[in-house]
Amino acid sequence: MVSPTTHKRGVVLVADDDPVMRLLMIEMLGQVGLDGIEAEDGKQAVAYFQGMAPDLILLDVEMPNMDGFSACREIRRIETGAPVPIIMVTGGDDIEAVTSAYEAGATDFVSKPINWPILGHRVLYVLRASDAIVRLRMADAHNRAVLAAIPDTFFRLNRDGVYLDYEPGNEMQGHDAIAAFSVETCVGKHITEVLPRDIADRLLEQMRGVLDTLHVRSVDYELVRFGVIHHYEARLVATGASEVLGLVRDISERKRTEEQIRRLAYCDSLTGIPNRQAFLETLERELHRSKVGNKKFAVLFMDLDAFKRINDTLGHNVGDHLLKIVSERLRETTRPSDLVSRGDQSHNLARLGGDEFTILIPDLERVENALAVAHRVKEAMRRPFLIEGNEIFVTASIGISLFPEDGDDCNSLLKFADTAMYHAKNCGKNNAKLYSSSLTMQIMSHVKLEVGLRKALKNEELYLLYQPQIDVRTGDIVGVEALVRWRHPERGIISPTEFIPLAEETGLIVPIGEWVLRTACKQAMAWQRVAKRSLRMAVNLSAKQFKDENLTQIVVSALHDTGLDPRLLELELTEGTLMDDARATMATLEQLRGIGVHLSIDDFGTGYSSMNYLKRFDVRALKIDKSFISGLPQDSENAAITRAIIAMAHGLKMVVVAEGVETDAQLGLLQEYGCDLVQGFYLGHPSPHEAITQMLLQPCAEPTPTK
């Protein structure tokens, strides 16, 4: 209730030709805190209204000059008169007067005789009601102004999905005037008659949610308008128990910007294919999908072999161009149709950076399928690349990790595929390797072995065995080959086939090789003293040692310090070592020849070398690899090869050594073929120096089989 004392005093215009009535009315109004202005007739009432703007008018029906009905109509015609509450004072039971009063625009009426104590309250009530209406009108005007100011389209829907209202937004008005969306086309229609069914259904569903929860919800959808796809966002808000207000905004521009940002963030700028970030996210999704669906997938990690060399020698432009073509070839190779049947595969290929690419193979049924893709990728890379007039040849090394076998998180899977790729590179490039948990074990033990190997020399865990080389014609020991062994404190004796590659990788081969050389030379001198015989000492050299620029110096000082005649030292090299870089090889060989040491080709026949070069390199001996000897004498093909090698070597004035002679029959055949020297278990196992000393002290003319 509004209290008369606290309320700002309202002003009531009282129009009655009867002064007593006016007096009484003013008095009663005063009781409820209202002030009164008196008018004697209708004309005066209209004039006073314009001048004084009262808050309410009490109009008697019957007045001279202008009656109440006419005055009421007059006031309503005035602009400020429309909202002012007007109470008509009618005669007794005059129903007709009541009807005329409303028709003239009255707000309410009181009938005579007036119930005086009620009058004041009645007036107050009408004032409050009209106040509320004014506020409502203002709020409505305000809302409409707000809606007009924002670019959104707005509509109201009832609970059944029928449009109650529709107001096209600024940016749509042009289109909507001619398009299907306007007040005329929408209001009164069901939403399914206006919008495509699927969109309408989504809006209806969300609308029900909004009405149930009273929370704002939004729906994104697309509409093709005038041939262009537009993206819209409709926000729905409940405006009552059964009505929803919708605000629709064209968010096409925002979508375009988002798409552009997404492209920048997820695309490799050089090749246009997805980048690392995109790949990681794809991988994350695939991981989840595969976990849920109990499926397998593979991650392929590809790295170009010798990409750096191309970049360095032909320039970055060529390098960049190459990467682009590589990514195109990869895209072709991993095209969805022949990879898997699932939808969008565009993110399954990515460039992580540099020359590193990854491929995701989802829904893997068999590991072989991943290997088949790897094979196709390798083949695709092998085709020559024609760039700026250069014909470029590259190969790729590929590592593969598998979910769930190898790991169950993205980082591990990617890391393991990378590890497997390195493994593939170490196995001779242009290779594809699977990562498997056993590979980790292998690497772990590799690392442990490396730590041990670093200490092996200092801890005197290395030692040499010597295997005799026998002259086929005389049966005499004419030389030995020094073969290194490692007595590992925990693992026992480790074969050089296991630790020499590791020593090569880590560079430890250089100090180890030097130790072997010195120890072997020293031993050769010791035998000279004890047995009074000169034995040729063969020492294996690995590729890394051969490339070491200090090699000549190391050989010279070993010979010098031990006093061994250089002609008694024979360095064994493999074909691969020699052919790697013919020009550098030539220079090193010349230096070694200058010292006076001999060279032989180890494991001959397993590699690839040109006879021409061997002749130029001035090689003293060829050691036929044991793989040719082991099948003899039954294996006629190997017999023919062995025979041919011997003949050819003799033609080039080279000595021939047969390795791995294990039987008498093999020895017999080699004798028949004219082989010069033999080495093998049949003639003597690699043995400690004491055992060789024993053999040297026994005078013998025939080959002495041991075991």
Residue 57 interaction partner, one of Mg ion, ligand C2E, none, beta carbon < 5-8 Å per kind: none
Looking at the DSSP bridge assignments, the partners of residue 299 are 360, 401
Q: Which of 497, 612, 634, 698 binds ligand C2E (CB under 6 A)?
A: 497
Question: For ligand C2E, which is the closer residue by CB, 632 or 661?
Answer: 661
The residues, ordered by sequence, that sit 6+ positions from 237 with a Cβ below 8 Å of its Cβ are 210, 216, 244, 245, 246, 247
Q: Which of 483, 551, 559, 645 binds ligand C2E (CB under 6 A)?
A: 483
**Residue 315: closest CA among 389, 395, 382:** 389
* Least distance (Å) between residue 513 CB and ligand C2E: 6
* Least distance (Å) between residue 375 CB and ligand C2E: 31
Element (H, E) at 27: helix 19-31
* Least distance (Å) between residue 500 CB and Mg ion: 11
* Residues within window 1-30 making contact with ligand C2E, judged by CB under 6 A: none
User: What is the contact surface with Mg ion in residues (CB under 5 A)?
Assistant: 540, 572, 602-603, 659
Residue 400 interaction partner, one of ligand C2E, Mg ion, none, beta carbon < 5-8 Å per kind: none
Q: Which of 124, 434, 477, 516 binds ligand C2E (CB under 6 A)?
A: 516
Q: Which of 105, 169, 660, 703 binds ligand C2E (CB under 6 A)?
A: 660
User: What single letter denotes the amino acid at residue 277?
Assistant: Q
Residue 10 interaction partner, one of ligand C2E, Mg ion, none, beta carbon < 5-8 Å per kind: none
Stretch that binds ligand C2E, among 75-83, 174-182, 236-244, 653-661 (CB under 6 A): 653-661
Q: Which of 359, 603, 632, 658 binds ligand C2E (CB under 6 A)?
A: 603
Stretch that binds ligand C2E, among 77-85, 243-251, 286-294, 538-546 (CB under 6 A): 538-546
Looking at the DSSP bridge assignments, the partners of residue 59 are 15, 88
Instruction: Give the separation between CA 263 and CA 284, rounded to whole angstroms.
Output: 19
Give the single-character DSSP code of 557.
H
Give the single-character DSSP code of 80.
G
Instruction: Give the separation between CA 401 and CA 421, rounded to whole angstroms.
Output: 10
Residue 152 interaction partner, one of Mg ion, ligand C2E, none, beta carbon < 5-8 Å per kind: none
Question: For ligand C2E, which is the closer residue by CB, 28 or 571?
Answer: 571
What CA–CA distances, in Å, run from 189 to 193, 202, 432? 7, 17, 65
Question: For ligand C2E, which is the closer residue by CB, 337 or 634?
Answer: 634
Residue 467 interaction partner, one of Mg ion, ligand C2E, none, beta carbon < 5-8 Å per kind: ligand C2E
Question: For ligand C2E, which is the closer residue by CB, 39 or 541?
Answer: 541
Element (H, E) at 599: strand 598-604
Stretch that binds ligand C2E, among 4-12, 249-257, 327-335, 655-663 (CB under 6 A): 655-663
Compute how many residues bind ligand C2E; rule: CB under 6 A.
24
Instruction: Give the separation between CA 148 and CA 170, rounded to whole angstroms.
Output: 8
The residues, ordered by sequence, that sit 6+ positions from 228 with a Cβ below 8 Å of its Cβ are none
Stretch that binds ligand C2E, among 204-212, 452-460, 527-535, 536-544 (CB under 6 A): 536-544
Q: Which of 50, 80, 242, 495 binds ligand C2E (CB under 6 A)?
A: 495
Instruction: Give the separation between CA 517 and CA 527, rounded to whole angstroms.
Output: 16
By CB under 6 A, tell whether 540 contacts ligand C2E.
yes
* Least distance (Å) between residue 437 CB and ligand C2E: 29
* Least distance (Å) between residue 464 CB and ligand C2E: 7
φ, ψ of residue 134 to 5 degrees: the values are: -60, -45
Q: Which of 90, 327, 467, 687 binds ligand C2E (CB under 6 A)?
A: 467
Other Cβ atoms closer than 10 A to 221: 17
User: What single letter denotes the amino acid at residue 39?
Assistant: A
φ, ψ of residue 198 to 5 degrees: the values are: -65, -40
Question: For Mg ion, which is the closer residue by CB, 345 or 540?
Answer: 540
By CB under 6 A, tell whether 461 contacts ligand C2E.
no
Element (H, E) at 46: helix 42-52
Distance of CA 610 to the CA centre of its chain: 47
**Residue 80: closest CA among 134, 34, 9:** 134
* Tokens found for residue 83: 């909202």
Q: Which of 282, 686, 689, 696 binds ligand C2E (CB under 6 A)?
A: 686
By CB under 6 A, tell whether 469 contacts ligand C2E.
no
Stretch that binds ligand C2E, among 9-17, 141-149, 452-460, 493-501 (CB under 6 A): 493-501
* Least distance (Å) between residue 572 CB and Mg ion: 4
Q: Which residues of 404-494 form beta strands (DSSP E)?
A: 432-434, 462-471, 477-488, 492-494
- First-to-last alpha carbon distance for the chain, in angstroms, is 125
* Least distance (Å) between residue 613 CB and ligand C2E: 20
* Least distance (Å) between residue 503 CB and ligand C2E: 8
User: Under a CB-based contact definition with an 8 Å cutoff, are residues 299 and 400 in contact?
Assistant: yes
How does strand 569-574 pair with strand 598-604?
parallel
By CB under 6 A, tell whether 496 contacts ligand C2E.
yes
Q: Which residue is nearest to ligand C2E (CB)?
A: 680
User: What single letter denotes the amino acid at residue 276?
Assistant: R
User: What single letter denotes the amino acid at residue 81?
Assistant: G
| In 492-595, alpha helices (H) | 496-506, 509-531, 543-547, 551-562, 575-579, 582-595
User: Under a CB-based contact definition with an 8 Å cutoff, are residues 608 and 579 in contact?
Assistant: yes
Question: For ligand C2E, which is the closer residue by CB, 250 or 603?
Answer: 603
By CB under 6 A, tell whether 624 contacts ligand C2E.
no
Q: Which of 501, 662, 671, 695 binds ligand C2E (CB under 6 A)?
A: 662
What residue ranges bind ligand C2E (CB under 6 A)?
A: 467, 482-484, 495-497, 500, 513, 516, 540-542, 572, 602-603, 626, 659-662, 680-681, 686
